[in-house]
């Protein structure tokens, strides 16, 4: 079981208090009408599935009921950091930033 640090409650809680809510930092296009169908489809449906570092959203559904972000390694299940919505990750994959 994962042990997640909720940045709003400021303490660790067990995984069953949380829900996984998919990839983090997906920005809604400002002008959807200007997008091609492919770009719109990519925004709506296509998600990363990395082997290694992944930034993902979690929901503290049975606690403070806030969304926050987690940087997690999908291979080792290591959790590097958790941070509030609106903040940027401190730990990133090298390839990702290039």
Q: For residue 57, give the 3-state DSSP assignment.
A: strand
Q: Which of 2, 9, 57, 79 binds other proteins (CB under 8 A)?
A: 9
Transcribe 4-49 into DSSP letters.
EEETTTTEEEEGGG-EEEEES-PPPPS-GGGS-HHHHHHHHH----
Q: Is 10 in the site for other proteins (CB under 8 A)?
A: yes
The site that binds other proteins (CB under 8 A) totals a number of residues, namely 13
Q: Does 14 help bind other proteins (rule: CB under 8 A)?
A: yes
Residues forming the site for other proteins (CB under 8 A): 8-11, 13-14, 16-17, 62-66
């Amino acid at each position: 079981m994962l042990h997640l640090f909720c940045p709003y409650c400021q303490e660790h809680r067990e995984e069953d208090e949380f829900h996984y809510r998919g990839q983090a930092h997906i920005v809604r296009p400002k002008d959807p009408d200007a997008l091609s169908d492919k770009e719109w489809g990519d925004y709506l449906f296509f998600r990363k599935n990395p082997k290694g570092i992944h930034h993902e959203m979690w929901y503290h559904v049975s606690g403070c009921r806030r969304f926050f972000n987690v940087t997690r390694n999908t291979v080792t299940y290591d959790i590097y950091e958790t941070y509030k919505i609106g903040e940027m990750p401190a730990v990133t994959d090298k390839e990702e930033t290039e």
